[in-house]
Amino acid sequence: MIQERRQVPRARTYLPVRIQPANGGPAVETLTRDIGYHGMRCLCSTPIAANTPVRIFLTLPLRRTVVALQAQTQWLRELPHCDQFEVGIVFVTEPPDEYRQVLTSYFSAAV
């Protein structure tokens, strides 16, 4: 069993997200796999190297609000037996209160 090292929990949720590398590379349209106050994990069809500065455009449910955040990739993992990758992303800028409220409702529902 893998021990959770995060101090803040993550919610398993599939939200639309666009990841735009800061170097001007092509944007990746994908879904989150889990998300928390300080970061998220996404599926990607194209690899984005670890420690790459990115801009995240996250579509929040219900309100269809798009939140833009400065972030950085932390790790990249190739998934076995397919052409997909998982990427771990940490937020560099503090998420707005609206984002935190939506995540709090996810966490409450998961308990």
Q: What's the CA gap between 91 and 73, in Å, rounded?
A: 9
Euclidean distance between CA atoms 32 and 23, whole angstroms:
22
Q: What is the pLDDT of residue 62?
A: 67
pLDDT the model gives residue 3: 43
Which carries the bigger pLDDT value, residue 9 or residue 38? 38
Note the pLDDT tens digit of each residue in 18-30.
999 998 888 999 9
Model pLDDT for residues 42-89, shown as the tens digit of each residue: 999 989 999 999 999 988 776 677 888 899 999 999 999 999 999 999
What is the distance in angstroms between the CA of the first residue and the CA of the last residue of the chain? 20
Domain residue extents for the chain? 11-110
Which element (helix H / strand E) includes 42? strand 39-44
For the structural domain made of 11-110, what CATH number should be given?
Answer: 2.40.10.220
More confident call, 109 vs 64: 64
SS3 state at 105: helix
Residue type, 43: L
Compute the distance between CA of residue 70 and CA of residue 40 in angstroms, rounded to an integer.
13
Structure tokens at 48: 């984005």
